[in-house]
């Protein structure tokens, strides 16, 4: 199995490390995965026999790009060219999620499908803006596209959704889908100001230097759109009714607590198919009333009733684990 990795940030590096650990399990399935190329902002490195993880991690740390590798480094090569040259069996799209459109990730995914490659993506944008296009091309090419890493990281939200909808229907869905905003609101409940909570979130590495995607609700909007698309297709993130947590004040949280409620950033897929994201009051002790970096999802099924999923939100290794889970699923589907 030839794998091309596009994107070598935190998630890409975690993926490379976990692939080394999972090699024996792949071999039990009769697969011999080789990462034949890695692309980052500085270029690419390609190796027919598979890249050497330890040396590339060192090169990335010291020089800033895998393109400086002495074994197959190409400073001028972009992802599209790397796909054409390496002809991967599976292309892993792990570049950062863009704002305002699908960005380069859509081009990478469509080019991979054009060359007969299956695709596994951790990048949310193409599935929030151009889901129907991606799936239509994948179907026309007879290729498999997996994207479970886009929602919940290691928490199998989309896999659970697909399992539940065999013989049943989602009537509505609500979820706490962003660990950063949930952590900030939890600290504010405990007495921190918004600014102090954000600073602490940055210190422990769950908030970016620019936290706009998280606190504005846009990250949750991407995720609820992807969930809605997995249910029925036809959605774009720009239809989401969106409000972030920037205007939530400590006094709002205190007043809610006095009345037996918490305030959390909730993403919703409603019974009439609308998508909403915003601060919502949740009954204290209810399943969605989670604290810190936990995620929680409530599936309201037509026949099974409410089904809940709780767990840690996304981190680099959780997201990388989801990518590997998707690769295993591709192997299993190919055998059917």
Does residue 336 register a pLDDT over 80? no
pLDDT-derived band at 54, boundaries 50, 70, 90 = confident
pLDDT-derived band at 81, boundaries 50, 70, 90 = very high
Please tell me the predicted confidence (pLDDT) of residue 65.
95
Give the whole-angstrom CA distance, residue 77 versus residue 68: 12
Please tell me the predicted confidence (pLDDT) of residue 204.
85
Q: What are phi and psi of 174, to 5 degrees?
A: -130, 150
Please name each of the domains of the chain with its CATH number: 2-154+316-335 (3.40.50.720), 157-312 (3.30.360.10)
Q: Are 35 and 50 in contact (CB under 8 A)?
A: yes
Strands 73-74 and 43-46: antiparallel
Q: Which of 124, 223, 249, 281 is catalytic?
A: 223
Beta bridge partners of 280: 264
Q: Is 223 a catalytic residue?
A: yes
Give the whole-angstrom CA distance, residue 137 versus residue 320: 25
Please tell me the predicted confidence (pLDDT) of residue 257.
95
The pTM (predicted TM-score) of the whole model is: 0.95
pLDDT in tens, 306-327: 999 999 877 899 999 999 999 9
pLDDT in tens, 139-189: 999 999 999 999 998 799 999 999 999 999 999 999 999 999 999 999 999
Beta bridge partners of 200: none
Count CB neighbours of 171 within 10 A. Answer: 15
What are the tokens at 18?
């976990």
Give the whole-angstrom CA distance, residue 69 versus residue 73: 5
Mean per-residue pLDDT for 293-313? 95
Please tell me the predicted confidence (pLDDT) of residue 145.
98
SS3 252: helix
Please tell me the predicted confidence (pLDDT) of residue 166.
95
């Amino acid at each position: 199995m030839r794998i091309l990795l596009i994107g070598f940030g935190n998630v890409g590096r975690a993926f490379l490390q976990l692939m080394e650990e999972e090699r024996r399990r792949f071999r039990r399935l009769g697969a011999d995965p080789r990462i034949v190329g890695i692309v980052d902002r500085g270029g690419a490195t390609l190796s027919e026999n598979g890249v050497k993880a330890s040396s590339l991690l060192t090169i990335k740390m010291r020089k800033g790009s895998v393109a400086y590798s002495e074994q197959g480094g190409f400073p001028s090569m972009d992802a599209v060219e790397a796909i054409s040259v390496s002809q991967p069996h599976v292309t892993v799209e792990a570049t950062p999620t863009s704002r305002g459109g699908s960005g380069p990730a859509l081009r990478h995914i469509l080019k991979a499908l054009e060359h007969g490659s299956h695709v596994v993506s951790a990048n949310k944008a193409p599935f929030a803006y151009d889901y129907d296009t991606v799936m239509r091309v994948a179907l026309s090419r007879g290729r498999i596209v997996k994207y479970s890493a886009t929602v919940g990281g290691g928490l199998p939200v989309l896999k659970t959704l697909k399992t539940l909808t065999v013989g049943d229907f989602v009537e509505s869905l609500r979820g706490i889908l962003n660990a950063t905003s949930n952590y900030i609101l939890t600290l504010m409940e405990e007495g921190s100001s918004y600014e102090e909570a954000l600073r602490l979130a940055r210190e422990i590495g769950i908030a970016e230097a620019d936290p706009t995607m998280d606190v504005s609700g846009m990250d949750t909007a991407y995720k609820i759109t992807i969930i809605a698309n997995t249910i029925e297709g036809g959605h774009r993130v720009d239809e989401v009714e969106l409000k972030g947590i920037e205007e939530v004040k400590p006094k709002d949280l205190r007043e809610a607590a006095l009345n037996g409620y918490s305030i959390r950033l909730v993403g919703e897929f409603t019974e009439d198919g609308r998508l909403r994201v915003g601060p919502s009051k949740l009954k204290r002790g209810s399943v969605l009333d989670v604290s810190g970096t936990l995620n929680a999802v409530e599936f309201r099924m037509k026949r099974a009733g409410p089904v809940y999923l709780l767990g840690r939100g996304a981190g680099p290794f959780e997201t990388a684990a989801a990518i590997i889970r998707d690769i295993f699923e591709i192997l299993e589907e190919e055998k059917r």
